[in-house]
Amino acid sequence: MIQLPDSHPFEPAQQGAIQQLLASLQPAQMQWLSGYLAGVSQQGGTPAPAASRSGTPLTVLYGTESGNSEALADLTVKTAKKKGFKAKMVNMADIEPASLKKAVNLLVIVSTWGDGEPPEAAEAFHKSFMKEDLSLSGVQFSVCSLGDTSYEQFCQTGKDFDTRLETLGAKRLYDRVDCDVDYDELHQNWMTAVLDQLGGSATTSAAPALFAPVATVEYGKKNPFPAELAEKVILNGAGSQKETWHYEFNLEGSGLQYEAGDALALQSVNADDVVADLIQAGRLQADAKVEVKGVGEVTLEKAFKENLDITALSKNIIKKYQALTGSKELEALLADENKASLKDYLWGRQIADLITDYPSDKLTAQGMVDLLRKLPVRLYSIASSPKAHPGEVHLTVASVRYDAHGKSRKGVASTFLADEVTEGDVVKMFIQPNKNFRLPESDDTNVIMVGPGTGIAPFRAFVEERAEREATGKNWLFFGDQHFSYDFLYQLEWQDHLKSGSLHRLDVAFSRDQPEKYYVQDVMREKGAELYEWLEGGASFYVCGDATRMANDVNEALLEIISTYGSKSRQEAEDYVAAMKKEKRYLRDVY
């Protein structure tokens, strides 16, 4: 029973009634009641109606691939509303460029995908906005750009919008901010500065709470959940050139929820041998004390293992290292006008290679730490339906191992899972929603899924989800890999789904089982007439997997199929695909 303080003004009967009521309420109900009573007090006993503020208008426009920009847009709008703004968030996928003429105050939050490309869902808007002739002289703006410094075209999409807005006559409110993968602090500073610039008024301070809120642990990005690995199974047969694992993690007690199509953000650590190589390359002491931002003082070895990205070599890292060491050779490499030499040097090399190739007596343990960025989380498409596997989350992960420049290399997160995590161990993780890769709202809609290799992961979730929903829409899966005998991932499960009727069609392509390479796009062309018939019937089309070649090859095959079987020109086929994307019937999860 909740006890009121001794100084309360209530009669005994009132005291009992209040205590009984409070004991029956959930935390959210208690918070609502506290705010409601505060409103009653401020209005002289009359409850204040919930009405929108008539403050300064603010539009937060976002373009997102994995959901980060959308989450920051949501946070910005909520913060702005608390400060008295009449704020709204708008997805680039849902508007036309001309709509921006009405946006008096415009904040743009957009990510860059791959090497300088806009997010998939924002591609059409970006293309139109870059060429459309508009007058935005009545608009004030500022841009927060998300990117990854391991790519040459860091934050390029944000830079595109920033330049174009100014070209079209919009007035800059605040300088663009370019954020790396660790973006929270930079976004917070940008948001605060922009809202202050616009003169947002602070909200009325909240009345003191009537009671202490119930303490609960919330797991998410700032507090990842330590999930226990329940099962770990190799999916490739003996003789395969690949190493693909199926992982099952226990989410019981986490409160984490996900939908088919979402991603899992996994927090890994660097391998001991990779840590040792970098320490040796820099001629540094493993037990040297260093300061890591957001962490505090730790040993260099611990910082390298747990906190910092010690492998991804980028132009940004080379620039920082050159500034620290004063290397004339690196200065010349960075000054190469055609960028061919720099691009060639970056390919297949890691940070330890840079330190080895261009050693310097000026490098210290703290100086090395200051060069590096925070170790980013790794996103993996979830391979399970929460309806089919309550309290669990599954992944399909290929271990990345290769040789380059005479050295063995390995992916940080994939080999962390494969080499260092065994059943019973815990891995820190959180859910990364992906609203741009969802099943159709209607269970009657047919779906076509193209997922070679580990691109099969979300489609395992899709088929399980549709089976649990007893969806009447048909499911057609295209899968490809190297060899039928070794690399047919989840083969028995697909056979079971075919027998049960939850999978209606399965077409496969194994590239190395015949003299000529044979891929998913080839089998798509063979089934082109039926595929086009499904599209004409309203089917949704999904692609997951490699962005550099596969996704483009599949898109090209799709255009050819539409052109051939729809008797359309190339331009008409491209317009058909663009319409599918706008209707959210063509969705991709590529990496």
Q: Which of 92-101, 203-212, 226-235 has the lowest mean pLDDT?
A: 203-212
User: Which residue has 């426009």 as its token pair?
Assistant: 61
pLDDT greater than 50 at residue 51: no
Q: Are residues 425 and 278 in the same domain?
A: no
Q: Are residues 260 and 387 in the same domain?
A: yes
Question: Per the domain annotation, does 308 fall within a domain?
Answer: yes
pLDDT at 67: 86
pLDDT, tens digit (0-9, with 9 covering 90-100), for 259-302: 999 999 999 999 999 999 999 999 999 999 999 998 999 999 99
pLDDT at 126: 95
pLDDT at 151: 84
Question: Per the domain annotation, does 427 fall within a domain?
Answer: yes
Q: Are residues 64 and 27 in the same domain?
A: no
pLDDT at 23: 65
Domain that holds residue 46: 1-51
Question: Mean of the pLDDT values across residues 142-147?
Answer: 96
Q: Give CA angle at 531 (530, 536), nearest 5°.
A: 95
Contacts of 515 (CB under 8 A, 6+ apart): none
Contacts of 213 (CB under 8 A, 6+ apart): 27, 30, 31
pLDDT at 367: 96
Question: Per the domain annotation, does 211 fall within a domain?
Answer: no
Q: Give CA angle at 549 (556, 525), nearest 5°.
A: 35
- Cα–Cα distance measured from residue 401 to residue 410, given in angstroms and rounded to the nearest whole number: 4
pLDDT, tens digit (0-9, with 9 covering 90-100), for 404-457: 999 999 999 999 999 999 999 999 999 999 999 999 999 999 999 999 999 999
pLDDT greater than 90 at residue 206: no
Question: Mean of the pLDDT values across residues 60-76?
Answer: 92
Question: What's 326's domain CATH number?
Answer: 1.20.990.10
pLDDT at 244: 98
Q: Are residues 149 and 281 in the same domain?
A: no
pLDDT greater than 80 at residue 165: yes
Q: Are residues 530 and 398 in the same domain?
A: no
pLDDT greater than 90 at residue 390: yes
pLDDT greater than 60 at residue 28: no
114-123, 512-521, 527-536: range with highest mean pLDDT? 527-536
pLDDT greater than 90 at residue 234: yes
Beta strands in 295-425 (DSSP E): 296-299, 378-381, 392-398, 401-404, 407-410
pLDDT at 492: 97
pLDDT greater than 60 at residue 473: yes
Question: Per the domain annotation, does 214 fall within a domain?
Answer: no
Q: Are residues 394 and 264 in the same domain?
A: yes
Question: Per the domain annotation, does 81 fall within a domain?
Answer: yes
Question: Mean of the pLDDT values across residues 72-76?
Answer: 95
Decide if 343 contacts 334 (C-beta within 8 A). Answer: no
Question: Mean of the pLDDT values across residues 529-549?
Answer: 96
pLDDT at 2: 54
* Residue ranges in 6-84 assigned as alpha helix (H): 12-24, 27-42, 68-82
The rounded mean pLDDT for the chain is 90
Q: Are residues 493 and 580 in the same domain?
A: yes
Question: Per the domain annotation, does 401 fall within a domain?
Answer: yes
pLDDT at 209: 46
pLDDT level of residue 26 (50, 70, 90 thresholds): low
Q: Are residues 386 and 238 in the same domain?
A: yes
- Other beta carbons within 10 angstroms of residue 211's beta carbon come to 14
pLDDT at 337: 65
Q: Are residues 550 and 487 in the same domain?
A: yes
pTM for the predicted model, two decimal places: 0.82
- Domain count along the chain: 5
pLDDT level of residue 113 (50, 70, 90 thresholds): confident
Question: What's 526's domain CATH number?
Answer: 3.40.50.80
Question: Per the domain annotation, does 216 fall within a domain?
Answer: no
As a whole-number percent, the residues of the chain with pLDDT over 70 amount to: 88
Burial of residue 357, with CB atoms counted within 10 A of its CB: 0-12 exposed, 13-18 middle, 19 or more buried? middle
Question: What's 148's domain CATH number?
Answer: 3.40.50.360
- Cα–Cα distance measured from residue 265 to residue 258, given in angstroms and rounded to the nearest whole number: 12
Decide if 452 contacts 398 (C-beta within 8 A). Answer: no
Beta strands in 169-234 (DSSP E): 171-172, 177-179, 225-234
pLDDT at 29: 55
Q: Are residues 255 and 327 in the same domain?
A: no
Decide if 108 contacts 142 (C-beta within 8 A). Answer: yes
3-state secondary structure 393-446: EEEEEECCEEEECCEEEECHHHHHHHHHCCCCCEEEEEEECCCCCCCCCCCCCC
Q: Are residues 281 and 250 in the same domain?
A: no
Question: Per the domain annotation, does 442 fall within a domain?
Answer: no
pLDDT level of residue 10 (50, 70, 90 thresholds): low
Q: Are residues 420 and 520 in the same domain?
A: no
